Amino acid sequence: MNIFKILLTCTVFSYAAAEIQMLINPVNLAENMFPGTQLSRAYDKDVVGKADAYRFLNKTKDFIIDGSSGVITATKVFNYEIDPRKFLFIVDTGGPLRHVLTINIIDVAEPPNCAVDLQFSSGTATLEIDEDYPLFQSIYRVMATDEDSVNGDFLTYTIETQLSGPKKGANSFGVDPLSGVVSLRSDDLLDFDAGYHVFQLALRATDTTRLFCQGTLIIKIRNVNDETPQFEAFPLDSINVTENTPVGEIIARVKATDRDEDSSITYAFRTRQTMFDLDTSTGIITLLQPLNLENPANAKAYPLEIEARDNENNTSTYTFTVFVESIDDPVECDTSFSTAAGVSVSVPENIPASAFIYMILARDPDPGQEVEHFQIVIAVRNRGNQSLESCTGTITINIQNVNDESPVLTYIPHAPINIYENLPIGTKLVKLTATDRDIGDSVHFEFIGTQKEFSINEVSGEVTIACPLDYEDPATPHSWELPFRVYDNERIHSTAGTIRVILLDSNDNPPQCTQDIYIIELPENIPVETLLVSLTCTDKDGTDPNNNITYHLITDNFSNETFTLTNNQLKTGPMHLDYDKAIFAGMQFKHTLFVRVCDEGNPVLSTSVTIIIRVSRINELNPIGTTSTFTFSILENSPADTLVGKISFTDADWPFNNIKYAIIGGNLGKPQKFYIEADTGMIKVLSSLDREVEKQYIIVVKTTDLDNDAIPDPLRQRSNTAQVIINVLNVNDEPPVCNPPHLETQIYSTTKIPFLQLNCSDKDSPQEELSYSIVRGNSNNLFTLWRRGADPPSLASTQNFQFDAFQGMQDPVTFQLLIEVTDELGGNKASQLSATTTVIIHVLPWTTTQPTSATKTTTTTMTTSVLVRISYYWKPESWMSAVLTLTVVLLMICLYAVAWCLFKE
């Protein structure tokens, strides 16, 4: 009884120790993982194959567990910043043990979101400001959000590009890196009149992980009348008129310009004038009164201050002097001027019009004025008759060379210069040429402003590349307006020009993929058209076709029909995966695929992605026999372990033909006559056979495959059955037997008909195969065996036993016949068996008088033939039956205990 208790306790403990296993625990789930992705899998060997076996004890809508397979998936996309970051679930299968599954939500860096202002993110955000907008005052604020800000992430704002138009090159706006506020800065003030009418800003918000979002802001500049009129000055800020100028004649015209568009200017004297009149629209000055110098009230010079006013009352003033020339009296010129040689004056070649060249000293006898100064100016005038009131002299003007010529560009490209990226430093783009008409002067070239990408040779004018140019670098513009200056030796004169350079994209970047190698585990029974991987590849080249990507699958002949690549998606098919091939075993049960990712540039650049697909075997196929019924024959005298036959089954699952065999039913005999070798399928004799007891055995053999799953699972093993018919062949091992073994009878001497029938038989031979013969005691052949058909023969006499002196019998006579019975009539004599029977016959004379006989009575001895046969068979030890009985009892107790535990739950 104590033994039973210990065994029961151990059995229950073993059952309780079986627990639910988790494939992955804890699970780290990235916050942006798509729903439906397998996170983990629960496994309980006690519920394999049962429906609705797995469940969560605590309710949740965010995760589900498949009741049959135990696969755990999420039902939504999680947000680390707002969702719970840890989940605990109790996994239950109805058994005594449960398992706690932990799922952690993992933060993933996410780019900022600029879609708060949809117009900004879509590139259509537009606003207008006046050209006199104040410096550093907010114009626009970039509204970007970052979900990672709760984890300490912050945004930095930058202007990536700033384009102006129609005139290019202005750099007027800035953005606060912390607040994202866009404002004017002092680099380049807004000036609508200079051609800056619109600006396009590419603004970027970048987080600490260098992820960013970007939008476009368009700022339109409104023209403001902020310019004052500008006068065109007279030479020496003066004009000369003669005193006899008639009233109403135009003596001058003032002109002012305003840079503001659509601006009109009006003119007015700042002080009231009586001698002159001013047209407010045209600026024409006319004479109102005579200028006769003989009139003491008239002056020889009249200062005039004129005001110009535009539409917005912006004003400017200009003051000049009107000098009145006397023409009444003859003058006396300087003698050096009047001599034949005259006066020699040297002037620079660039002397301005109306500039002083020479002063002639003369006398004028007019009252109150002894000396006048006359100015000879260079002017273009019609030549009329020389006045008598004049003096004539000669002035020789020597022109001196002056650096007064500006350089003239003789070659500048008018079309944009197109260059490809990655050209070597020093590559020449263009050679500018210019000349300077000044004698002995040379020209020099320089860029206006700083140009880090290009350099210009000061002497030759060659424009070359100064630094590497990468079209894909965000810091590198795709076009440049390069203003340059050509100046002379002393930088007195210069000429400006602009060349435009456009950077073209070249195919210099091969495609880049997020992963260079993928390792995928697949069961061999995965359905066709299953998506295995979606490749994510990009090409950093900035334009197509350089950044157009195509995908090409490269496989060996074995994998050619097993996988299909459509665009960037690799799927199974059109053929199923097949683990069960010898050639696949040589490939270590894996497919190695290569995807060549190419662009469409010239030359074509490519990169390769390696995809290793490891296939796990699945037990898919049942063992198959060569036939459903196997028939064998065995001699009945075959010893133990004699081979009866071998059943042949094959299993196409890898490893091939890994099968075990077992006899599960049928007519096995008592004791069991046959056994089967589990690994070979050979059926052999277990105990002695006897055809006379059982001629045929029909048994059922079950074949079960082994280790055909990647993870051995007894519940997934596949099996098949076959019927085996074993015919026991006869062997002549039984001698004939007569019953009874000896006979005794009496007859009269006159008897000739059969008087005694033998009763002999043979277990392994029919009656017709038994032969009979009298082998002893039949002297004079007095008896014979008489046989009809297949029945045993009868004993008959061959003559009459008469009482006469010569032939007959006078006294009773006893005969002892020994009859031999032999089996397998006509068979192999070496294998024939025989037996004998003794027949005692008392022959009585046919008479009523018992004659006296002198014959001596003899004693009859009956003999039989004894055959000895030794059979060998296995007999268990005496203690074996007790052990087997005890084992069966203990097994029943264990099963009862297990059932009790299950139903208790």
Q: Is 60 exceeded by the pLDDT of residue 689?
A: yes
Flag the least confident range among 119-128, 338-347, 557-566, 795-804: 795-804
Q: Looking at residue 589, what DSSP letter applies? A: T
Q: Looking at residue 628, what DSSP letter applies? A: S
pLDDT for 328 equals: 56
Q: Is 70 exceeded by the pLDDT of residue 388?
A: no
pLDDT for 318 equals: 92
pLDDT for 330 equals: 57
- Of residues 680, 674, 718, 670, the one with CA closest to residue 700: 674
- The mean pLDDT of 677-683, rounded to a whole number, is 91
**How do residues 766-804 score in pLDDT, each as one tens digit?**
887 788 888 888 888 888 888 887 788 888 888 655 544
Q: Hey, what are 42's tokens?
A: 């629960």
In this structure, are residues 225 and 260 in contact, taking their beta carbons and an 8 Å threshold?
A: yes
The sign of the dihedral angle between the CA atoms of 636, 641, 646, 649 is: positive
- The mean pLDDT of 331-345, rounded to a whole number, is 70
Question: How far is residue 191's CA from residue 299's CA, in Å, rounded to a whole number?
Answer: 46
pLDDT for 494 equals: 87
Question: How far is residue 642's CA from residue 871's CA, in Å, rounded to a whole number?
Answer: 16
**How do residues 711-740 score in pLDDT, each as one tens digit?**
777 777 888 999 999 999 888 777 888 988
Flag the least confident range among 132-146, 792-806, 883-897: 792-806
The continuous run of DSSP H or E covering 759 comes out as none
Q: Hey, what are 188's tokens?
A: 């380049």
Q: Is 80 exceeded by the pLDDT of residue 698?
A: yes
Q: Is 80 exceeded by the pLDDT of residue 385?
A: no
Q: Is 60 exceeded by the pLDDT of residue 369?
A: no
In this structure, are residues 831 and 840 in contact, taking their beta carbons and an 8 Å threshold?
A: no
Question: How far is residue 418's CA from residue 404's CA, in Å, rounded to a whole number?
Answer: 36
Q: Which of helix, strand or coil describes residue 715?
A: helix
**How do residues 826-865 score in pLDDT, each as one tens digit?**
667 767 888 889 999 888 887 644 444 444 444 444 444 4
786 beta partners: 794
Q: Is 80 exceeded by the pLDDT of residue 353?
A: no
Q: What is the pTM of this model?
A: 0.42
Q: Is 70 exceeded by the pLDDT of residue 387?
A: no
Q: Which of helix, strand or coil describes residue 590?
A: strand
Q: Who's near 603: CB < 8 A, 6+ residues apart?
A: 507
Q: Hey, what are 105's tokens?
A: 């939500």
Q: Estimate to the nearest angstrom the gap between the alpha carbon of 714 and the chain centroid.
A: 36
Share of the chain above pLDDT 90, in %: 29
Angstrom CA distances, 614 to 586, 592, 602, stand at: 13, 9, 37
- 654 vs 87, higher pLDDT: 87
Confidence class for position 365, pLDDT limits 50, 70, 90: very low
Q: Is 60 exceeded by the pLDDT of residue 300?
A: yes
In this structure, are residues 823 and 762 in contact, taking their beta carbons and an 8 Å threshold?
A: yes
Confidence class for position 360, pLDDT limits 50, 70, 90: low
In this structure, are residues 717 and 704 in contact, taking their beta carbons and an 8 Å threshold?
A: yes
Question: How far is residue 841's CA from residue 754's CA, in Å, rounded to a whole number?
Answer: 13
Fill in the amino acid letter for 34: F
Q: Is 80 exceeded by the pLDDT of residue 752?
A: no
Fill in the amino acid letter for 150: V
648 beta partners: none
Phi, psi (rounded to 5 degrees) for 362 = -135, 165
In this structure, are residues 793 and 772 in contact, taking their beta carbons and an 8 Å threshold?
A: yes
Share of the chain above pLDDT 70, in %: 86
- DSSP H helices, 403-450, are none
Confidence class for position 629, pLDDT limits 50, 70, 90: very high
The sign of the dihedral angle between the CA atoms of 707, 708, 714, 717 is: negative
- 551 vs 843, higher pLDDT: 551
In this structure, are residues 466 and 452 in contact, taking their beta carbons and an 8 Å threshold?
A: yes
Angstrom CA distances, 654 to 567, 572, 849, stand at: 34, 21, 101
In this structure, are residues 860 and 840 in contact, taking their beta carbons and an 8 Å threshold?
A: yes
